[in-house]
Each structure stands twice: as structure tokens, then as C-alpha cells.
Amino acid sequence: MYGGDEVSAIVIDLGSHTCKAGYAGEDAPKAVFPSVVGAIDQMDIDGTADINDENSDKTKGKCKLYVGSQSLGYRRDHMEVLSPLKNGVVVDWNIVDNIWDHALRECLLVDPKERPMLLAEPCSNTQEQRERAAELMFEKYKVPALFLAKNAVLTSFASGRATSLVVDSGGGSTTVVPVLDGYVLQKAVIASPIGGEFLTDCLMKSLEGKGITIRPRCSFKKKEIHPGNLQTVDLDFPHTTESYKLYSQRVIASDIKECVCRTPDSPYDERVYSNIPMTPYELPDGQIIEVGSDRFKIPDILFNPLLVQTIPGMESFAEIAPSIRGLPKMIIESINKCDVDIRRELFSTILLTGGTASMHQLKERIEKDLLEESPQAARVKVFVSGNATERRFSVWIGGSILASLGSFQQMWFSKSEYEEQGASYIQRKCP
Amino acid sequence: MSWQTYVDDHLMCDIDGTGHHLSSSAIIGQDGSVWAQSSSFPQIKSDEINGIMKDFDEPGHLAPTGLHLAGTKYMVIQGEPGAVIRGKKGSGGITIKKTGQALVFGIYDEPVTPGQCNMVVERLGDYLVDQGL
């Protein structure tokens, strides 16, 4: 048994959009940086190398990786932007390794051999994924102890509740997860690919459809023509990759979304919203754009995915949109898959979390829709932290609390257990 | 080595030198026959065994109704399809591992953790599987 009382554990939450890392016991992660990395192919600069997608470490030995906001914020010729995840599942462990390395050695400045490690994981994580994470942590980082905890359980923990229905609308997806006495009811988990990034892409396409061009910051600079008079000058970097341009545009579109979007009170109707006042937003290049009905239409996609079909450029998603359910329906479907005895409690303890949970009026709309669609006897209550940090980092905060508890210390999967029993033991130690 | 010895010495043992142990445990045949059980193990019903066996065959079968054991209801949490069923009730819970011919049951309560119960039950279960039992 590992005695973890001497030093603070490290808590890492590698989400689909950002990676959060910090010390257990603290109230916010020390490091927050993108979960995507820059990659420059070292063997064939023209990028014609044949990448075998079946190789789970396709970037190993072939690419130089750039991790963190600072590295990604600096444009480089031929630098692609890659994600280690696909549909929420790790497909490139080499990238994950580099992200962990960046978090531990460059952000937190710790030696992982000296500290137990708590990793947050998605509810859909497979046994194989868990074992791979354990192997990497014990073999490469030589951690003294490890624990894997599910995102929803940690969010529930952060709110001080052992039982709840966690609605996590993050960057890459939205999931609805019932948590009972600190454990996920796996059969009732409902997931949707519509998350913050999807909404950002919809907004970007919609603006482009109206003739608005979002210029990546690296494609221009401002020159002072006369004192106090700045002029935007185009810069030409022909070797900038498409994925890097898209990444840069998404950062800006995401900010537009956060500044101007608001969840409508009721289902979005084109006729009702076509005449609403526009809201101005200044792009980094100085261009001022006016955002109108998109302010309400984009957030409503969470409730009515069919709206995607009306956005030019989103054709690839239009075909699957009919099969995706809106948020209230996901919630009701999840609860209906649970035991009848706990449904009432779940309806009355719905925790809204994730970056997209910060959308204005989202909680109110969910509550309203649920009151209309839920059983008569259900007392619907949606909780969302009033603190933006807690909303965004609830998974990490839950991990920080959990790893600090005295009663948790006996639960660590120790290095000696790993060496004696192997990686598959993770399934028993961290059920 | 009798079946009762497996229960007394391996399932109801002191866990990791903590002084704690499972609340009760048993080894029950997949046909419902009791091979061995601790003194406080509840009286299981045949339809409850059938429900458990069906959940091993069709993972998710018990989730909407809960896992019942002598009238006690456990909420089904994540197990391992076809191999392990785990249930939760308050701060305690249950782990059931399927072997070739039997089911190994472990019931725990605070301060025993779910992970500890898993270790004890599944370790014995693995051994029985290796022995073809």
C-alpha cells in the first residue's frame, strides 16, 4: 500500500480541448494549455510521407512536436496541428506522452518519480486505454502511485455530491452521466459530438457564408503609417499549413462565440430572429463585424442539432444531425436508463459543467425545457457554479479534492502493485 | 482444501494488513447451488442468480432494475462485460466474478474500498479460472 501523505499528488485532466494540470489540494490548475500540438515532419519536409493511421504512435520518431500555448502561438513553416484524440479516444500515445511531459516538466517543474499521479479519464475509456496510460506512467515517468478517475465522478465530487447527473459540455463533446455514490452508471451514459468546438465551427462557417473573412493573426501585421494611424499589412507565408490556419481562425471564432452568443429562451425561429439588433465585434485585424441572428442560432444547436443543416459549409455534419439528440432529450434518455428508484434524485441534482456551460442563459433554458418534457412528479433542479473557474475546471478541482483526502490514500495503485500484478490491475484498483 | 477454506482464508482474509475484511462472501455454483459461504452471507434466491447469470450473458440487463440479493438492491456500476459485475449501495457494495462453473461473491462496507473488494474477489476468481473451476 502506498502512503501518499508526504507530498501533494499531481492532478492531470487531459480534455479534448485543453489540458489542465496542477497540485492536489489547490483550488485551480496551475497549467492550462491546448490539447492539440504542433508537428513538423522531420523525415519528409514536403509532407508526402505515407502515414499509417493504424499505428497508434504515428508521430513517434518522425515528427518534432510543439506543445503549449506559447509554442502553438508561434507560426512555423509546415507545422501541422494534431490532436491525440479521435472521438474522445486516444489514438496517438506519443502526443499524449509529450503533453504530459510538457505539463510535468515545463509547467509544473516537478519530477514525476516523487509524486503520485491522479489522471482524469472520460467515461468511455476502454480497459486497453487505461492499461496503456498506466504503463506509460509507471514505465516512463516512474511514478510512485497512480489513480484513474472518471471525469463525471470528479465533477460530482467537486460539487460536494456523491450522487448527481453530470451534464458536461466541453470542447469536443457533450456527455450526460449519472453518478451514484461516487460511481458512474455506465449503461446510462449518453454522448453527443456537439461541444464547444463544434459550435465554434458552425459560427465560423456561418460568418464565412455572409462574406466575413477571419484572418489568422500570423497572416497580417499592423504598421504605423502616421503617428496614431495604424494600417494592416498582409504577410505572406506560403508554407503555413491549412491545419494551422484553421487552428488560428478557431481561436478567434471561439472568442467571438464567447463574447456575443446567448442561449435563446425558446427554440430558435429564423423568422423571429431575423430582425434583431446586430452586435459589433472587432476582429484582431481591426475589421468590425456585425453579428445578428447567429448570436442565438449557434447556441440553440445544442438543443436542436437539425439547425446545422441550415449552415452553409457544414454539409458533412448535416447527414448525421438528424440522429443527434438535443440536450434535454439526452438528459431524459439517460435518466430513463437508470433504476426507477434513483430517477427522482437525478432529476433534482443535475450538474452543468464544462467550458460550454458558461454560455449565457444555458442553465435557464435547460431547466425550462426539462420542466416541460420530464415526468409530472419530477422536481427539476439544474446546478451550475457561479464561478467561471469552477465551471470550466470542475473535473480538475474534483481530482484535487479527491487526491487530498486522507481516506483516499489507501486507494492508490502503487508502483509495487504494478510491478507485481501488471497494468491490468488498474481495472480492480480504480473501478 | 475445501471450498469453505477458500471462503474463510482467501475471501474473508485481512485485507493488505489493514485489519479490515469483507462483510461477507460466498462461492456459488452457476446453477445456484451453494459451494461455500461466510456465516453472514445472505440467503440468495434462484431468480436472483438467474438475473445475475443473464447479466453476464447480456451486459446491461440488470442496470435498469438493479441487482437484487436477498432483497437488498444494489445499483449496477461499471464491471467487465461477461466477467465481473459490480454494484453499489451507499458506501458499500458488491463484486461478483464469474468463473468456469461458479460465481465468487464479495460484499463490503466502509472502511473497505471497492478496489480492495475487487482485489480479493477477482484474485480468487482468477485462480479458479486458471484451475478450470
Could you read off the pLDDT of B59-69 as tens digits, one per residue? 888 888 899 99
pLDDT tens by residue, A88-137: 789 999 999 999 999 999 999 999 999 999 999 999 899 999 999 999 99
Q: Name which of B117, B127, B121 is nearest B20 in CA terms.
A: B117
Beta bridge partners of B74: B67
Which grid coordinates are listed for A352?
452543468
Optimal mutation site among B14, B15, B68, B88, interface A, most CBs of chain A within 10 A: B88
Residues in B lying within 8 Å of A, measured between beta carbons? 16-18, 60, 63-66, 73, 75-78, 80, 86, 88-91, 111, 113-116, 118-119, 122
Report the pLDDT value the prediction gives residue A50, as an integer from 0 to 100. 46
Alpha-carbon distance A203 to A253, whole Å?
7
pLDDT for residue A43: 67
Q: Is the pLDDT of residue A85 over 70?
A: yes
User: What is the spatial order of strands in the sheet that B72-80 belongs to?
Assistant: B34-37, B24-29, B102-108, B92-98, B84-89, B72-80, B67-69
How confident is the model at residue B59, as a pLDDT? 87
Q: Which of A100, A103, A86 is nearest to A29 (CA)?
A: A103
Q: Given an 8 Å threshold on Cβ–Cβ distance, is B91 in contact with A428? A: no
Distances (CA, A) of A105 to A57, A141, A413, B109: 21, 11, 22, 40
Residues of A in contact with B65 (CB under 8 A): 339
Q: Which of B60, B64, B119 sits opposite A339 (nearest CB)?
A: B64
pLDDT of residue A47: 46
pLDDT (mean) for B24-29: 96
- Integer Cα distance of A396 and A240 in angstroms: 34
Bridge-based pairing of strands A117-121 and A10-14 is parallel
pLDDT given for residue A48 in this prediction: 45
Q: How confident is the model at residue A218 (pLDDT cuts 50, 70, 90)?
A: confident
Distance CA(A129)–CA(A141), nearest Å, equals 17
Asked whether the predicted pLDDT for residue A367 surpasses 90, the reply is yes
- Average pLDDT of A216-228? 88
Report d(CA A241, CA A247) in Å as an integer. 10
**Which tens digit of pLDDT belongs to each residue from A260-286?**
999 999 999 999 988 889 999 999 999
Q: What is B1-129's CATH topology?
A: Beta-Lactamase (3.30.450)
Task: Select from A127, A151, A186, A346 the residue whose CB has the most chain B CBs within 10 Å, as the one to mutate to test that interface.
Answer: A186
Whether B34 contacts B26, CB under 8 Å: yes
Residue B74, C-alpha cell as written in the block: 444494489
For residue A282, the model assigns a pLDDT of: 95
pLDDT above 60: residue B27 = yes
> What is the Cβ-side half-sphere exposure of residue A179, based on CA atoms within 13 angstroms?
29
Q: How far apart are CA B79 and CA B97, in angstroms?
A: 9
Residue A56 has pLDDT above 60, yes or no: no
Residues A209, A294: Cα–Cα separation, whole Å: 12
Residue ranges per structural domain of chain B: 1-129
Per-residue confidence band for A49, with pLDDT thresholds at 50, 70 and 90: very low
Give, for A154, the enclosing helix (H) or strand (E). Answer: helix A151-158
Task: Return the H-helix or E-strand segment holding A96.
Answer: helix A93-101
**What sign for the dihedral angle of Cα A330, A133, A90, A15?**
positive
Using pLDDT thresholds of 50, 70 and 90, give the confidence band for residue A5.
Answer: low
pLDDT tens digits, residue range A332-365?
999 999 998 999 999 999 999 999 998 999 999 9
What number is the average pLDDT over the span A216-230? 88
User: Among partner residues B65, B90, B118, which is closest to A339 by beta-carbon distance?
Assistant: B65
In angstroms, the CA A199 to CA A193 distance is 10
- Rounded distance between C-alpha atoms, residue A124 and residue B8, angstroms: 37
Q: What is the pLDDT of residue A13?
A: 97
pLDDT at B64: 82
* pLDDT confidence bin for A84, thresholds 50/70/90: very high
Q: Which burial class, exposed, middle or buried, applies to A286 when counting CB atoms under 10 A from its CB (0-12, 13-18, 19+)?
A: exposed
Average pLDDT of chain A, as a whole number: 91
**Residue A51's pLDDT band (cuts 50, 70, 90):** very low
The residue type of A429 is K
Residue indicated by cell numbers 489507501: A410
Categorize the per-residue pLDDT at A3 as very low, low, confident or very high, splitting at 50, 70 and 90. Answer: low
* Confidence class for position A2, pLDDT limits 50, 70, 90: low
Quick one: pLDDT at residue A230? 84
Residue-level pLDDT at A52: 45
Tell me whether residues A1 and B16 touch, CB distance under 8 A: yes
Q: Domains along chain A?
A: 196-321 (3.90.640.10)
Side chain identity, residue A17: H
**Exposed e or buried b per residue across A400-412, where buried means at least 16 C-beta atoms within 10 angstroms of its C-beta:** bbbbbeeebbbbb
pLDDT over 80 at A45, yes or no: no
Nearest alpha carbon to residue A157 among A402, A405, A353, A406? A402
The least confident of A149-153, A313-317, B109-113 is A313-317
**pLDDT at position B1:** 58
When pLDDT is cut at 50, 70 and 90, the band that residue A6 belongs to is low
Q: Give tens-digit pLDDT for A303-340.
A: 999 999 999 988 888 888 888 999 999 999 999 999 98
Q: What pLDDT, on the 0 to 100 scale, is given for residue B71?
A: 86
Q: Is the dihedral of CA A40, A45, A51, A57 positive or negative?
A: negative
Handedness of CA A80, A81, A85, A90 (dihedral sign): positive
CA A240, CA A221: separation in Å to the nearest integer? 16
CA dist list (Å): A409 to A81, A97, A101, A282, A414: 39, 26, 25, 51, 10
Residue A53: is its pLDDT beyond 60? no
| Amino acid A321: pLDDT | 84
d(CA A207, CA A201): 10
| Residue A85 contacts residue A172 (beta carbons within 8 Å) | yes
